[in-house]
């Protein structure tokens, strides 16, 4: 993947942006390590196992915290492996995935076309229609 980030553009140069929507912490940490190594901006997204919440996060090396700077609660508590329930598909509420995908696309267009204000971390709670927006600081 490192090679793809460094030479994957149409001109064989570095790409403009990494977008991700993976389903686990270790995959995010792999993307995080590569983006940090090559100084690549990364737009991360995710939906909770219950599909009742989600987020997008914009990670700018040297400007925002990286994905490792603030571990998700389930990872910090060591319960990530216990969240997944056998036989339960996380895509059971596809509207949440659609909403988060829409925010990821909107942020991508704002970044690439240089308009509006980017939310570095935008979280959505589907049960209460609550949104929060904040910036994750670099953890020294
Ligand atoms: Zn970090």
Contacting residues for 41 by C-beta, under 8 A, at least 6 apart? 16, 17, 18, 35, 58, 59, 60, 61, 111
In this prediction, residue 78 carries a pLDDT of 74
In this prediction, residue 93 carries a pLDDT of 80
Say if 38 falls within a structural domain.
yes
CA separation (Å) from 53 to 27, 78, 89, 112?
A: 20, 20, 15, 26
In this prediction, residue 70 carries a pLDDT of 83
Say if 105 falls within a structural domain.
no
With CA atoms as reference, report the closest residue to 40 among 17, 19, 20: 17
CATH number, domain at 74? 3.40.50.720
Average pLDDT, integer, range 30-58 = 93
Q: How far is the CA of 47 from the centre of ligand 1 (A)?
A: 21
Catalytic site positions = 89
Say if 90 falls within a structural domain.
no
Mean of the per-residue pLDDT values of the chain:
88
Q: What percent of the chain has pLDDT over 70?
A: 87
Say if 95 falls within a structural domain.
no
Q: How many domains does the chain have?
A: 1
- Domain limits for position 34: 1-80+118-140
Say if 93 falls within a structural domain.
no
- Render pLDDT for 55-71 as a digit per residue (tens, 0 to 9): 999 999 999 999 988 87
Q: How far is the CA of 46 from the centre of ligand 1 (A)?
A: 18
Say if 112 falls within a structural domain.
no
Q: How far is the CA of 39 from the centre of ligand 1 (A)?
A: 12
Say if 31 falls within a structural domain.
yes
Q: How far is the CA of 80 from the centre of ligand 1 (A)?
A: 20
Q: How far is the CA of 64 from the centre of ligand 1 (A)?
A: 8
| DSSP letter, residue 63 | T
Average pLDDT, integer, range 24-52 = 92
Say if 113 falls within a structural domain.
no
Please check the confidence at residue 91 and state whether its pLDDT lies above 80: no
pTM of the model: 0.84
């Amino acid at each position: 993947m490192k090679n793809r980030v460094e030479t994957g553009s149409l001109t064989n140069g570095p790409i403009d942006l990494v977008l991700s929507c993976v389903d686990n912490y270790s995959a995010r940490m792999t993307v995080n390590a590569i983006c940090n190594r090559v100084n690549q901006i990364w737009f991360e997204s995710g939906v909770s196992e219950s599909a009742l919440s989600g987020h997008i996060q914009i990670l700018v090396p040297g400007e925002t915290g990286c994905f490792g700077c603030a571990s998700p609660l389930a990872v910090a508590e060591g319960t990530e492996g216990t969240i997944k329930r056998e036989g339960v598909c996380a895509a059971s509420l596809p509207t949440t995935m659609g909403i988060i995908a829409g925010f990821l696309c909107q942020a991508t267009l704002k970044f690439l076309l240089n308009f509006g204000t980017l939310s570095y971390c935008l979280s959505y709670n589907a049960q209460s229609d609550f949104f929060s927006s904040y910036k994750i600081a670099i953890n020294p």
